[in-house]
A and B are shown apart, each in its own frame.
Chain A
Amino acid sequence: MEDRIKSAAAELFAGYEETPQLNDFREEVTANTLERARDLIEKGMGEDEAAAKVIAELGDLAEIAELAGMKKRREIISGFFSQNKPLDKFHAVGYAAVTAVAIIGIIATLFAWGKTDNLGTILMTAAPFIAISAAAYTYLGLTQDSPSVYPMKKEKGLLFALAVGLISAGILFGAGEFMAGISTANLKNYDWGKHVKSEQALHAGRTVALPVVIGTAVLIYLGLTMEDRQKPWFKRWVDKELSEQFAENEKFAENERFGLLSGVIWISAASLYMFIGFVFGAWHPGWLVFMAAVTAQLLLQFATSGKK
């Protein structure tokens, strides 16, 4: 029954060029129609009869496609990706606000730069602005309804934003602490060897460690619970058009998970390297962390390819 209704809905809009709006409309109609059919069956109607009834009711919907301005349009296929739907109020206001915060941050940082040559102060001025806008951009981007992907759930988007905010804040504030008191003028002949072993570097390392570890843990959790947000039409399109050339592209969620976990591996490796270096001064054997990261990456590749 489901397949019959789905193909009937697809047929209904077959005469129209696929636009994001049309795709969304078809998914909306399909979901509502399926639910109506299920209700009819629950009330005692036979499957075939219910399917026939709801499909018959769909008949006059083609008019709406025209009414809604979804008339056949000549557009290249790449239009799908570049053509975004109009932003909803929340996202429009949100993007504007975040951009304003970022611009204020840039101005404040430049201002600090003009006032002082203390690198730490300059970094600390930029840090909150960068961390906040990075987190907010992440949230807005993930929760936005795009032509090909459904918006992420609000709670998950918030967690993502939190992770991004924590990691960037940790790194930036840590860097600011590390650079505190160092003048932009004598960067070149500064005794870095002595500085990395100082108490100050140790404190900076601690500032970096906690938020980055928590943020990374959140990212790992999100990576493991990633769900498929691809829209049905896009999935079909990918299946049809790309299955031969890029067989791997079919599994969107799996790829997203793979990308995220890879990111986690390298962020962890980099922060661990810095931690070992700054806190214990062990830069030399510390680089072995990256060898471990390469191994982890290969294992991840093996694990994900093994699933298919």
Chain B
Amino acid sequence: MSEEETGRISSDLLRGHTDTIILQLLSKKDRYGYEVRKAITEKTGERYELKEATLYASFKRLEQDGAIASYWGDETRGGRRRYYTITEKGLDLLKRNKIDWCFTAKIISALLEE
């Protein structure tokens, strides 16, 4: 990706894959909301910042679909954190979405080839 330092990220395109990105992050370990947001900012070298609304909407959607589950952390000082964890269903969804994305990327690249 380093060859395109001058490029800009298409937020629309990325937003469509928020669920998959979150699932990928949760597949490594359980995380709470702000932690996910921070991880995305860091992973993209601060080139992309996820909006709060997008993040929470994604959590709600994924939780309703049973792809992730949530639980309260143990913190007693300050606010309690709500942690999210990926389910079996979520892992399946992640796998499928990754395959679909690779396929899509290949097709689009082929179409845009000069």
Which one of B51, B52, B75 has the greatest number of beta carbons of chain A within 10 Å? B52
B79-A63 in contact (CB<8A): no
B76-A27 in contact (CB<8A): no
The answer, yes or no, to whether A58 is at the interface (CB within 8 Å) is yes
B36 → A minimal CB distance (Å): 9
The answer, yes or no, to whether B7 is at the interface (CB within 8 Å) is no
Residues of A within 8 A of B81 (CB): 28, 31-32
Number of A-B contacts (CB under 8 A): 67
A31-B52 contact in complex given A36-B34, A67-B57, A89-B69, C-beta closer than 8 Å? no
B53-A31 in contact (CB<8A): no
Contact of B33 among A28, A145, A228 (CB under 8 A): A28
B33-A32 in contact (CB<8A): yes
Within 8 A of A (CB), among B41-85: 51-53, 56-57, 60, 69, 71-72, 74-76, 78-82
Contact of B53 among A24, A63, A153 (CB under 8 A): A63
A60-B78 contact in complex given A32-B34, A35-B34, A145-B71, C-beta closer than 8 Å? no
Residues of B within 8 A of A75 (CB): none
The answer, yes or no, to whether A49 is at the interface (CB within 8 Å) is no
B72-A34 in contact (CB<8A): no
- Give bound CA distance, A232 to B32, whole Å: 18
- Give bound CA distance, A151 to B70, whole Å: 12
The answer, yes or no, to whether A64 is at the interface (CB within 8 Å) is yes
The answer, yes or no, to whether A61 is at the interface (CB within 8 Å) is yes
The answer, yes or no, to whether A185 is at the interface (CB within 8 Å) is no
Contact of A151 among B69, B71, B76 (CB under 8 A): B71
A30-B56 in contact (CB<8A): no
Which one of A25, A32, A57, A151 has the greatest number of beta carbons of chain B within 10 Å? A32
Closest residue on chain B to residue A60 by CB atoms: B53
Residues of A within 8 A of B74 (CB): 153
Residues of A within 8 A of B53 (CB): 60-61, 63-64
Contact of B82 among A31, A33, A68, A227 (CB under 8 A): A31
B60-A68 in contact (CB<8A): yes
A27-B80 in contact (CB<8A): yes
A41 → B minimal CB distance (Å): 14
- Give bound CA distance, A124 to B101, whole Å: 61
A60-B72 in contact (CB<8A): no
Type the 1/0 row for B7-34, where 1 means its CB is closer than 8 Å to any CB of A: 0000000000000000000000000111
Residues of B within 8 A of A57 (CB): 51-52
Type the 1/0 row for A7-29, where 1 means its CB is closer than 8 Å to any CB of B: 00000000000000000110111
The answer, yes or no, to whether A80 is at the interface (CB within 8 Å) is no
The answer, yes or no, to whether A150 is at the interface (CB within 8 Å) is yes
A31-B78 in contact (CB<8A): yes
Please, could you name 29 A-B residue pairs with CB atoms under 8 Å apart, sorted by A?
A25-B56, A28-B33, A29-B52, A30-B79, A31-B32, A31-B80, A32-B34, A32-B37, A34-B78, A34-B79, A35-B78, A36-B34, A57-B51, A57-B52, A60-B51, A60-B52, A61-B52, A63-B57, A64-B53, A64-B56, A64-B60, A67-B60, A68-B56, A68-B57, A88-B69, A145-B71, A145-B72, A151-B72, A227-B76
Known: A28-B33, A67-B60. 17 other contacts (CB 8 A): A28-B82, A29-B56, A31-B75, A31-B78, A32-B34, A60-B51, A60-B53, A61-B56, A63-B53, A64-B56, A64-B60, A68-B57, A88-B71, A89-B69, A151-B72, A227-B76, A228-B76
